[in-house]
């Protein structure tokens, strides 16, 4: 019997996958699968011979020089997971507006669109008057281009203006959000699903400390595995329902997701805000719990042997 092929798509910066994914090929081989690793924009790769292609460490897809070619590549791959119709909308954080329309609260956000031609003064007037706030591009990966600033500090505010103008000048939508103190107190919660089933959850320590500034480097995350509360689990299900509502709205049909990471943060009033839905290059924290790698390899095997 011929072994099914599964190709793990990565980028040139991670030719052997991200550290968190490096045990995955062996886990797939143990399940009777022929695992391969390929850089998504390597011209020598024949994606028609790649079997099922699983998006993993494609961390460079959001760079301006790569973005459009990445989307075209996704649609050219015969069997891509997650599906290219999902990649299209999840690659741009404007999807959060649409999720809000499906009943999922998000952090109040000021959207600065590049076609508006904002001046520095106009950007300045759209920042909060007090407290800390975050500036980030709507198309980004791994937290690149995200900075935390203080509204009442003139130097910090000036740096935030320059950061926003930098992104706008390159045609990127900029998101301005008030920094939530709940992130410092409790961190973020990530719920990880494989084939629609909750696999594990981790609590992420705050990354944007008060002196944090925008960078093109991937942000390092510190995570701790823990069981979600019933309320958190129910909230995750609410988000999943909204995700599939958006999938049906955009693709005209439902599509099962191989992997899905939902990031939420407490709103300080007993509920949650949705921070992000990661369906492309999601860090899945496969080393955070003993069952995480097993669950993901099993989920891929289910698809490979269908």
Give the pLDDT means over successive 10-residue stretches in the chain (306 positions).
93 96 98 98 98 96 93 98 97 94 92 96 95 93 85 95 95 92 80 97 73 53 88 94 95 96 90 94 94 98 94
Q: Count the alpha carbons within 13 Å of 301 in the hemisphere toward its beta carbon.
A: 16
Supply the pLDDT for residue 212.
Answer: 47
Give the residue ranges of DSSP H helices in 109-208: 120-125, 154-169, 181-186
CA distance 237 to 262: 10
pTM, to two decimals = 0.91
Residue 219 has a pLDDT of 56
- For the chain, the maximum distance between any two Cα atoms, rounded to a whole number of angstroms, is 68
List of domains in the chain: 5-89 (3.40.50.20), 109-178 (3.30.1490.20), 186-305 (3.30.470.20)
CA atoms within 13 A on the CB side of 113: 3
Do residues 202 and 228 touch, judged by C-beta distance below 8 A?
no
The sheet carrying 188-194 orders its strands as: 223-225, 197-204, 188-194, 259-266, 272-278
Q: Give dist(CA 126, CA 134) in Å, integer.
A: 12
Alpha helices by DSSP H, listed for the chain, are 24-29, 67-76, 84-90, 95-101, 120-125, 154-169, 181-186, 230-251, 290-304
Contact 301, 31 (CB under 8 A): yes
Token representation of residue 13:
């910066």
């Amino acid at each position: 019997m011929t072994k099914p092929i599964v190709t793990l798509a990565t980028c040139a910066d991670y030719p052997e996958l991200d550290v968190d994914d490096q045990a995955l090929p062996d886990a797939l081989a143990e399940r009777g699968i022929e695992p391969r690793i390929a850089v998504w924009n390597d011209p020598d790769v024949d994606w028609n011979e790649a079997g099922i292609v699983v998006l993993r460490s494609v961390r460079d897809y959001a760079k301006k020089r790569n973005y459009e070619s990445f989307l075209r590549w996704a649609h050219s791959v015969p069997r891509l997971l997650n599906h290219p119709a999902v990649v299209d909308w999840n690659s741009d954080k404007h999807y959060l507006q649409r999720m809000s329309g499906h009943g999922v609260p998000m952090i109040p956000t000021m959207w600065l669109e590049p076609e508006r031609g904002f001046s520095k003064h106009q950007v300045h007037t759209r920042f909060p008057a007090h407290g800390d706030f975050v500036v980030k591009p709507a198309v980004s990966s791994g937290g690149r281009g995200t900075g935390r600033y203080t509204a009442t500090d003139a130097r910090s505010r000036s740096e935030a203006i320059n950061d926003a103008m930098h992104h706008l000048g390159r045609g990127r939508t900029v998101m301005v959000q008030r920094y939530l103190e709940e992130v410092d107190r409790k961190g973020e919660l990530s719920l990880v699903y494989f084939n629609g089933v909750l696999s594990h959850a981790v609590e992420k320590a705050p990354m944007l400390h008060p002196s944090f500034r925008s960078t093109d480097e991937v942000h390092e995350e510190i995570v701790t595995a823990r069981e979600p509360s019933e309320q958190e689990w129910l909230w995750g299900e609410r988000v999943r329902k909204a995700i599939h509502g958006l999938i049906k709205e955009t693709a005209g049909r439902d599509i099962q997701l191989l992997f899905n990471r939902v990031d939420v943060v407490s709103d300080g009033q007993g509920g949650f805000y949705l921070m992000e839905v990661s369906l492309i290059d999601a860090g899945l924290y496969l080393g955070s719990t003993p069952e995480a790698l097993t669950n993901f390899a099993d989920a891929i095997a289910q698809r490979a042997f269908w």
